[in-house]
Chains A and B, each alone.
Chain A
Amino acid sequence: MARVVVDVMLKPEILDPQGQAVQRALPRLGFEGIADVRQGKRFELEVEGPVDDALLVRVREMAETFLANTVIEDYTVRLETASGAEAAVSGSTGAGAAGSGAASEGAGATA
């Protein structure tokens, strides 16, 4: 069964207090040299049947409307292949300002 992975991260300009709390805890635990931590979400979608372009379009729709709130979050969609290698099939750039909802599609080849 093929797996499509959707990663959702807060846009760079949105404060991530959870990531900051993790980062601040690191030196206390003996992990030095970590300048910044951002915390996000990862969705693993187990797909019935073949993964084709039409399916990836649907997954991007799902990410855009539901899995991510594009006012504050960016997302990437990628296919996890059997070999364990992951091929990026699309992604948002994270360049847009919060609220623009502009998650432009990255130019990745479908695996």
Chain B
Amino acid sequence: MSGGLGRIGVVTFPGSLDDRDARRAISLAGGEPVALWHRDKSLHDVDAVVLPGGFSYGDYLRCGAIARFSPVMETLIEQARAGMPVLGICNGFQVLCESHLLPGALTRNDHLHFLCRDQRMSVENVNTAWTRDYQPGQEITVPLKNGEGGYVADTRTLDALEAEGRVVFRYAGPNPNGSYRGIAGISNEAGNVVGLMPHPEHAVEALTGPTTDGLGFFTSVLKTLVVSS
């Protein structure tokens, strides 16, 4: 891409699992993936960052609680507040909540089981940095795999999220984990920071994914970067 735009960092924490798939998804969307390391404060001039799924620091203490204090997050939190697009997937979503870049928290699935399946969800806000390539209300299917995916927040926060259009994704069909109001993913006020439990990076190729519905996340952010440059 011209001007070096489209460099998207993917942070690897000890225990990250889906960093490689995230980098591959970025490549397939036409971006340049850049591997970032949790102990390196530098974001190496990337234009956007993906926090991938997995079990950072073994999920010790709470999911994402220790990753939140890693050196790379210090810089990332600063940059995210300044407007850099950041996507947190699954464990990455948990890290964003622990960092207070996104409100609320993820708790144990209400049925206590680790759930791994293809999940339908609707895209309710297509104005974020990561969803502009979707249609309002579009239903997409991507894998969902976690043990602690129940989104919780107090009523006031939930009402504010709904009123401001910050419920970006909602589960379609039966609620898979007890998430309040069926919330699968949310954004910050500016729309540059998005977190969700389902895994778009696992749905980018017909060979390995249930659909290619997830590719839109990565083409969306590349468009966002061109528009904002």
Contact = CB atoms under 8 A, between A and B. Distances in A.
Given A17-B108, A17-B112, A72-B105, A99 B154 contact: yes
A76 B98 CA distance: 20
A99 B104 contact: yes
Contacts of B157: 99
A69 B154 contact: no
B108 A99 contact: no
Chain A to chain B: the 5 pairs with minimum beta-carbon distance, closest first: A99-B154, A97-B154, A98-B154, A99-B157, A71-B105
Interface of B: 61-62, 65, 69, 97-98, 103-105, 107-112, 150, 152-157, 178
Contacts of A98: 105, 152-154
B116 to A, nearest CB: 18
Contacts of B156: 97, 99
Contacts of B152: 14-15, 71-72, 98
A97 B111 CA distance: 24
A69 B105 contact: yes
Contacts of B69: 66
Chain A contact surface mostly: loop
A100 B103 CA distance: 10
Interface residues on A, range: 10 to 19
Contacts, number: 49
A71 B154 CA distance: 8
Given A15-B178, A98-B154, A100-B154, A69 B98 contact: yes
A10 B106 CA distance: 12
A110 interface: no
B153 A18 contact: no
Contacts of A97: 154-156
Nearest to A15: B110
Nearest to A72: B105
A67 interface: yes
Interface string A11-30: 00111011001000000000
A69 B153 contact: no
Nearest to B68: A66
A14 B151 CA distance: 11
Contacts of A99: 103-104, 153-154, 156-157
A111 B105 CA distance: 34
